[in-house]
Chains A and B, each alone.
Chain A
Amino acid sequence: MTGAAPLPLTVLTGFLGAGKTTLLNRLLRQPALDGTLAIINEFGAIGLDHLLVETSEERFALLDNGCICCTVRDDLVTTLTGILARRDKGELASVTRILIETTGLADPVPVLHTLLVAPALSGRLAVEGVVTAVDAVNGLATLNAHPEAVKQVGLAERIVITKTDLASDAELERLRIALGLINPAARVLEADMGHVAAARLIGTGFDPDALGRAAVDWFASATAPAGFVCSDPQAGDPGHVHGPGCGHHLPAGVVRTGHAGIETHAFVIDQPLSSPAFFRWLEYLTLLKGESLLRMKGLVELDDDRDRPLLVQGVQHVLHPPVRLPAWPDQTRGTRLVFIVRGIPRDVIERTLARFADVDAAAIKNPARGAMAASGNMAA
């Protein structure tokens, strides 16, 4: 039957050598991930052989803690619809969540697109977004050299720094700053010897309270003054960056990251929005600027029901189905939007919101003026 609650689903990505495999291997042993069905390219690739207790058929393998691994044979939709059909029949009843590892793919967006738009999967999955693994030792060099790596970080819901035991404190600090410059909103976790608390990496599907709290956290992180370009003339060395709390000053150029042009724009709107107008604007934004829009997330106050905010999320041209939350997650009301973009000026978003979402320009505010100017000034 299709009335079952949507299965929470997380996409795990990361550059080659980022330690995804080790991470996944360790994650699947944790009790918090009991009931996880992991979709991977091949069993051998993640070194699970010693955990396998049963391979009842070619594509399915049961781990000793009850997790299931499944390899993709034809395509992802076929694999997932097969799993959902078996679950509907009462098989795979223990499965409570899905984790997809995008082995060998630099760009997780096609996978997200498939998950969110395939008619056969409609309403069956609660896509929680992307977890991106970044290597503590080589991560910064990778970010500086590969725009695809920057994109993986930019669109992440959560970021895991792997191999922290192999990096110096200074290396770690620089990486944290770089990650904060690219994606100030995502929660950053550190995995020690491949270990990270699984419960902190995954969400809770469509649980509206948790979704609301996560959105508030996201917005708070995105607007917190951390990791910005120092404009203090006394500090010398213009363009250098410093970390949260202005602790360490790093020389300009160390955090170079071919991500000049990656910016985070946050908006507060003190005016309830009309749903058709807002979604018309959002459609135009994704149609015309999808390539440059790494991530967007927002709590939206619509004029048809001001007590129940709408959670909207998107990655590039792909929008998650919006979720009506039962109440505002904190004391603050009013629309909050965060965009992580590559080359979309803030004023384009502001002007087009006013124009096509029928918003009074005076009602659109910058919640973190000054602090948010950061990454736009970064020299490549």
Chain B
Amino acid sequence: MSAVHAVSDLVLTNGRIYTVDPARSSAEALAVRNGRIIAVGTDADVRPHIGPETRVVDLGGRLAMPGIVDIHTHMMMGGQAELFELRFGNTLRREAILDQVRAAAETTPEGKWIIGAQWGSDLLALFNSEESLALLDAASLGRPVMLRDDTYHNRWVNTAALRLAGITEDTPDPDQGSFGRDPSSGRLTGIMIEAAAGLIERTIVASGHYTEDMDRAAVAHSIATLNQHGVTAFLDAAAMQPVLAALKGLDDRGLLTAWASGAMPVTEPSFLFGVAGEELFALRDTFRSRHVRPDFTKIFLDGVPGARTAAFHEPYTPDAVFGCCFRGTTLATVPELVRWIGRCEDLGLSVKIHCAGDAAVTMALDALDVVRSFNGPTRLTHHIAHASYIRDADIPRFRELGMGADLSPFIWFPTAFLEGHKQTMGVERATRFWPNRDLLDAGALMAGGSDWPVIPNPNPWTGIEGLVTRQNPHGDFPGESLWPEQALDIATVLEIFTINSARMMGLGDVVGSLEIGKSADIIVLDQDVLTCPAGAIGKTRVLQTWFEGRLVHGTEALA
């Protein structure tokens, strides 16, 4: 019997290929034609697909697997900061920051903004003075300056920036924000607290500072960073118009080297500016392209535990501001959530709901319960983002209701975040964080997300290690484990970061595993993460990233 074998464009051979197909099978070789996988098997199985034009890459026995799918990123911010803004650590002091501002001012055209981050919030009192403002004005050589703090909630700006924003000594504080004033003179200092920061950010946006070219460059930079770490598909978790436009612009130019989905906020988030909700949804098909799928929306249901803005069933520890019994608040009611989820289902959009506290999780599940009861089954998968503090009774509801658990960011091990939670929630409650084993046993669909730039880089391998060890993969907090009973095995974790994330993105039949017909999104690693010591997984380097059979990171020759 003779078979006709299609000639492939690319063959990867002599590898240890972990396919993450339902059988969790292994293969040696794989053939690709027109960006799709046409054969997976032994070297002998794949050899007939090699023709004179076929690129053959010898993997030298290395582990290859499907590209990572990141279910929660913020593509614009990371790239913008790296390409166009001053970047300094939160340990830098005032004089050093001012030196950076002066150096930037010397090369910045007159009238153009200088933007930078992240000053330590411990400098707030020092900056909140007329003296510091005068120093900033002097360093900025007349250019408007805005510097973000390390919480991204507050800003320090100079007099030129205040002038452009129309803020004077007589301007009243905005709702939910305030202008810093020198305690001795009562005069403005350029410190902008919470909502006041938005006045400056909006002024910058309105000035046309961010051009479409810059937006595209920023997103392209972020995508290159993701590719470097082996990520070939991602969901932008707060996709405003500029992000979607940049993704579409890159795809139109053949420069988008990952599958992209965007979650369009139902209302304008506190930290992003522009059209949201119906107005944004109405534009979604103008951004749709081969690799761009604006098929999600985003609802922020609460805040974060460290700032006591997450909504919990039990109260926070007593506190001077909030008193004895504060549980946090949600930003929407069940009927409001029901309305949004119902509306999004009518539009064919899945909803990602930010829920940092267990009461927010309960409310999101309650709302989905209502929607499912009236609407019946759906092909859509909605997400709870940051599914981390979850009441026991709610764990089985994820599977029952088809709610996906977006595991992000990578903090299921001891971190500074957890230390903050211990202060506001007490040690016992704070450390019942990320019940991933319980979710797995209950049949929940879990997917991996970085929430970059909330964490410094989107390297999934530290997150993957942490899911297995529940210990800090960077070596901080040595000897400590966070709720070790919730650890998962590596094969399960690889599914979470590939096929599960793909399913939650609605791309389960396109990416997430190496099977015939799927996109040839393949990564080659410097070690076998299935067999190496769990504590070494975080050090994994991605040697090659292939997107649709194109090498988008690394070199073809493997050292």
Chain A contact residues, CB within 8 Å of chain B: 280, 283-285, 287-289, 291, 348, 351-352, 355-356
A289: B residues at CB distance < 8 A: 374
The A interface is mostly helix, strand or loop, or mixed, namely helix
* Known contacts A284-B370, A288-B371, A356-B370; A348/B338 CB under 8 A: no
11 new A-B pairs (CB below 8 Å) besides A348-B374, A355-B373?
Answer: A280-B335, A283-B335, A284-B338, A284-B374, A285-B374, A287-B339, A288-B338, A288-B370, A289-B374, A348-B376, A356-B373
> Which residue of chain B has its CB nearest to the CB of A289?
B374
B-to-A contact residues, CB < 8 Å: 335, 338-339, 342, 346, 370-371, 373-376
Given known A287-B342, A288-B342, contact A351–B373 (CB-CB < 8 A): yes
Q: How far is the CA of A356 from the CA of B374 in the complex (A)?
A: 11
Q: List 5 A-B contacts (CB under 8 A).
A: A284-B335, A284-B338, A287-B338, A348-B373, A348-B376
Q: Shortest Cβ distance from B340 into chain A, in angstroms?
A: 10
Q: Are A352 and B342 in contact (CB under 8 A)?
A: no
A352-B373 in contact (CB<8A): yes
Residues of A within 8 A of B338 (CB): 284, 287-288
A291 to B346, CA, bound (A): 10
Provide the residues of chain A in CB contact with B371, threshold 8 Å.
288
Q: Which residues of A contact B376 (CB under 8 A)?
A: 348
| Bound CA–CA A280/B374 (angstroms) | 13
Across the interface, do A352 and B374 meet the contact criterion of CB distance under 8 Å?
A: yes
With both beta carbons as reference points, the residue of chain A lying nearest to B346 in the complex is identified as: A291
Contacts of B375 in A (CB 8 A): 288
Give the one of B346, B370, B371, B375 with max A CB within 10 A.
B370
B371 and chain A: residue at smallest CB distance: A288
Residue of A nearest to B367 (CB): A284
Q: How far is the CB of B213 from chain A (nearest CB, A)?
A: 43
Contacts of A355 in B (CB 8 A): 373
Closest to A317 in B: B339
A116 to B342, CA, bound (A): 23
Alpha-carbon gap, A142 to B537, bound state (A): 69
Alpha-carbon distance A232/B218, docked complex (angstroms): 71
The 10 A-B pairs with the shortest beta carbon distances in the complex, nearest first, are A288-B374, A288-B342, A287-B339, A352-B373, A284-B370, A287-B338, A283-B335, A287-B342, A355-B373, A352-B374
**A356 to B369, alpha carbons, bound, how many Å?**
10
CA gap between A351 and B372 in the complex, in Å: 12
- Bound: A283/B338 CA distance, A: 10
Q: How far apart sit A68 and B335, CA to CA, in the bound complex (Å)?
A: 43
> Across the two chains, which residue of chain B brings its CB closest to A290?
B342
Residues of B within 8 Å of A291, CB to CB, are 346
With A and B bound together, what is the CA distance between A284 and B346 in angstroms? 15
Closest CB-CB distance, B250 to chain A, in whole Å? Answer: 37
Q: Cβ of B335: which chain A residues have Cβ within 8 Å of it?
A: 280, 283-284, 287
Q: A287 to chain B: which residues have CB within 8 Å?
A: 335, 338-339, 342
Q: Report B-chain residues with C-beta under 8 Å of the C-beta of A348.
A: 373-374, 376
List A contacts of B373 (CB < 8 A). Answer: 348, 351-352, 355-356
User: Hey, which chain B residues are within 8 Å of A280, CB to CB?
Assistant: 335
CA distance A285 to B374 in the complex (A): 7
User: Which of B338, B374, B376 has its CB near the most chain A CB atoms (within 10 A)?
Assistant: B374
Looking across the interface, which residue of chain A has its beta carbon closest to that of B374? A288
> Closest approach, in angstroms, between the C-beta of A160 and any C-beta of chain B?
34
Report how far A314 CA is from B319 CA in the complex, Å.
47
